[in-house]
Amino acid sequence: MSNITDTDRYNRLKKTSTIHYNMEVNQVLSEVIDDFPDKLTGMEYFYNKFRPLEEGKSLYPKDKKLIASMCIHVPIEIIYALDATPVRICSGAYSADAAGSDFLPAKICPMVKSTLGAIYLDMLPGNANPDLVINPTTCDQKKKIGEMEEEIGKEFYVLEVPPSKDSEEARQYWQRSVKKMVKKLEKVTGNRLRRRKLKKSIKMVSMAQAEFRRFMRLRKNAPVIFGKDAQLITNAYFFDDIDNWTINLKILNDELEERIKQEVLVVGPRAPRVLLTGSPSIFPNMRTPILVEKLGGIVVYEEFCSSSRMLSDTVAVDEWFLYDMVPAVADRYLKPSTCPNFTPNDDRIRKILLAMKDYKVDGVVYQTFTGCQLYDMESRKIGQELEKAGYPVLNVELDYNPKDSGQLTTRLEAFMESIKDNKRKK
Amino acid sequence: MNLINKNMQKIKIKKYINNSNVSRFRFWIQLLSFFLFVYGGYFFIEIGSRLPIFSCPYVEGSPGGCYLIGVQHELHSTWATIFSPRGISILKSLGIFLIFFLFLNKAWCGFVCPLGTLQDWITRLRKMLGFSFVRYGEMSFKRLKSIKYILLFLLILIPLAIKNSFFGLPFLPEGMHTPFCQICPARIILPLFTGDTSQIFVDFTDPATIAMTSLGLIIAALFLVGSFVKKRFFCFFCPMSALQFLFSKIGILRMVKDGDKCTRCGNCSRVCDIGITEIADDVLSKNIVKDDCMMCFKCVEACPEEDALKVKVVNFDIFSATEEGFFKRYGETDDPEHLEKHGLLNSNKEKDE
């Protein structure tokens, strides 16, 4: 009897959460699209990627295994090379938060709660039903989720990530860890990792990176696109077919280039240029960029693992054989990473400081999710360094609950005003 | 108007160079240099005997000589001669060596040295056979890198100790003259390219020559095996490289790094044949030529960050790391199916037409 009620409860929870999720998605999409007058034709493709799918439909090729990852530290080149489809399932949905809370203590980061809830309720992007979830041991909260695999009903694979990245030992450890993952994936997919396939997939990801870097160059040159749109583009990379993504970004880039030529810009020269960093904004949790831009600013750079960090770092292979390609792919996920899970993490400070200069940033909004220790702890040092360099920083703590937006709005308003004042004085 | 055109031209040339494949260029330069320094003598070419590379006089067709052989001969003298007016010739040849050296800096190793080229060819052979390479661990790298300085020190000290007594110690045997040449793999291996096998021998004149020439044979064998499994195996121990590095700072050809632009992704050290890690990890030094560097510029090719690494002649940039260049060299697919999907197949065709 109790079993029946359990499934009943589950089904009811799933039903209500899905309804809430669809409402949430539609609401955020309308905010992103309709509240801003100027529309880029090239964005249409990316907006459509986020519209809720009908039940039973899936975005992914049916004949391929679907491998989910919970973090950017999973080498997707290897997944592609094994003829499987990667999907990143970090969730930004408040509607999945509640379901995840049932499994976890109260003071846990909402992204972890929401991701767990989304896996449990099968509310993953594009109706994904992954054959395996790869869970890298980055932050403590995320890595402990894997222990609940039985309860959640999905198979998890723990990908061991070292706690530091600078030492030779860490690098060796990581490379071995990736090789072990290759073995596991070979078993799951039933395919062997082949030289030609891996080379092809490295180039495939590389082409996406080249297009993304071009996109960032355009953003650097002129304010032609809002950060909220940029965020959707990178978020779509989580689950979109990579070639289609690249091709459509290319179309958008061409449009942006044309706009720069004709000087059609989305904000005036006085608009505060903002850099976002900290806990990653993931659709539909788009509050910070939307607010910044509704208040007259523009987000020009996101130092998030859901954006620039995911697509900037490249693979350089010296000898195109598996013995060199696999370590080369592994290296790209470790050495340039600026994830706060690594200590020391001076590279993150250097990266932000460089972006401040390159993108002519006026101020930084540092966002921390309630319960995310690592980003919270790093905010102090980064704040100090930025202030030393003469940049204003606003630290905001937020939850996925959209109800507590009031305070965030007031604080952002004041911050934006002070930047505008400074700019006027100059 | 003319000025703008000129500037545009400059930018175009710069872009062309930054997008180019330096390694391919280097391959051809190396091939030419190899022929020049192994067979040039047959064509009556004479380059001088104070060269900063292993242009070995034991090779019949060699158009010049390696400075190390010169320095060993010159120091094979008593203190009295060295400090007499005749000693000036020692300075003079050092001067000639430096003039040669400063032009290319350590690029002599990466582009010109025939022994270096030979190792790159052995690496090519290994790649063709599909064998993996070996890298030193961090600790062994640190420990082994001092060997070249020890060799340099010995090749200076031994000739002096043959003619002079240090601290009342007995003179070293005459059989140890030009000690480095006796153990140098270039002496044994390079003559083989002119069909000369006469250097594969043990000199039975006295115990010292027996020891030294046998050691030479062992090192030559190690050279062949070593450079098959490890890229630029010998260069890591080369006393010429140590000597060059002492003067590298004043070289005309330079390589500089802008640490602020570096993400420490490690692409550069990954592709480094020697396995230098500072190139990626050091974000403070501007001059990034380390003692083991041979200035092959593979690191600059593999760097995707605009201007993070630059090759300069005095203060003019001649080759810089660029995003576009990186993706041209490392990111572009040659898979026709993939190209077609991205619509690149057609656009390339259009361009050709």
**Per-residue pLDDT tens digits of chain B, which is 353 residues long:** 577 788 888 889 999 999 999 999 999 999 999 999 999 999 999 998 899 999 999 999 999 899 999 999 999 999 999 999 888 999 999 999 999 999 999 999 999 999 999 999 999 999 999 999 999 988 999 999 999 999 999 999 999 999 998 888 889 998 898 999 999 999 999 999 999 999 999 999 999 999 999 999 999 999 999 999 999 999 999 999 999 999 999 999 999 999 999 999 999 999 999 999 999 999 999 999 999 999 999 999 999 999 999 999 999 999 999 999 999 999 888 888 888 888 775 554 444 43
What amino acid occupies position A344? P
- Mean pLDDT for chain B overall: 92
Nearest CA to A233 out of A206, A211, A257, A203 is that of: A211
Of A203, A324, A347, the CB nearest to B263: A347
Sorted by where each begins, the domain ranges of chain B are 22-244
Q: Tell me how close the Cα of B17 comes to any Cα of chain A, in angstroms.
A: 19
Distance CA(A351)–CA(A346), nearest Å, equals: 9
Alpha helices in A237-372 (DSSP H): 242-262, 287-294, 308-311, 322-334, 346-358
Tell me the chain B residues in contact with residue A201 when contact means C-beta distances shorter than 8 Å: none
Q: Hey, of A77, A168, A198, A203, which one would you mutate to test binding to chain B, going by the most B CBs within 10 A of its CB?
A: A203
Taken in order A101, A106, A110, A111, the sign of the CA dihedral is negative
**Chain A residues within an 8 Å CB radius of B304:** 213, 314, 316
Best A216, A319, A359 residue to mutate vs chain B (most B CBs within 10 Å): A319
Query: What is the DSSP-derived secondary structure letter of residue B172?
Result: P
- Give the per-residue pLDDT at A61: 93
pLDDT, residue B336, reads 82
Contact status of A264 with chain B (Cβ, < 8 Å): no
Residue B142, chain A, CB below 8 Å: the answer is no
List chain A residues with CB under 8 Å of B330: 206, 314-317
| CA-based nearest residue in chain B for residue A251 | B342
Q: Are the beta carbons of A204 and B333 closer than 8 angstroms?
A: yes
Output the pLDDT for position A426: 75
* Residues A142-176 pLDDT 10s: 999 888 888 888 999 999 999 999 999 999 999 99
Q: Give the gap in angstroms from C-alpha B185 to the nearest C-alpha of chain A.
A: 27
B155 close to B68: Cβ distance less than 8 angstroms: yes
CA distances from B135 to A1, A324, B276, B280 (A): 63, 11, 10, 16
What ipTM does this complex have? 0.93
Tens digits of residue pLDDT in B237-276: 999 999 999 999 999 999 999 999 999 999 999 999 999 9
Cβ–Cβ contact A242 with B under 8 A: no
Residue among A174, A197, A207, A216 with most chain B CBs within 10 A, to mutate: A207
Q: Does B263 touch chain A (CB under 8 A)?
A: yes
Q: Give the domain A2-25+37-194 fold.
A: Rossmann fold (3.40.50)
Look at residue B224 in the predicted model and tell me its pLDDT.
Answer: 97
Looking from the CA of B328 toward its CB, the CA atoms found within 13 Å total 14
pLDDT computed for residue A318 by the predictor = 94
**A217/B343 CB distance under 8 A:** no
Residue of A96, A131, A108 whose CA lies nearest to A19? A96
In chain A, where the domains are located? 2-25+37-194, 199-313+340-425
Residues of chain A under the 70 pLDDT cut: 1-4
Q: What pTM value is reported for the model?
A: 0.94
Q: What number does CATH give the domain A199-313+340-425?
A: 3.40.50.11900
Indicate yes or no: CB of A210 within 8 angstroms of CB of B333: no
Q: What share of chain B is helix, strand, coil (3-state, %, to 5)?
A: 60, 5, 35
- Give B86 to chain A, closest Cα distance, Å: 50
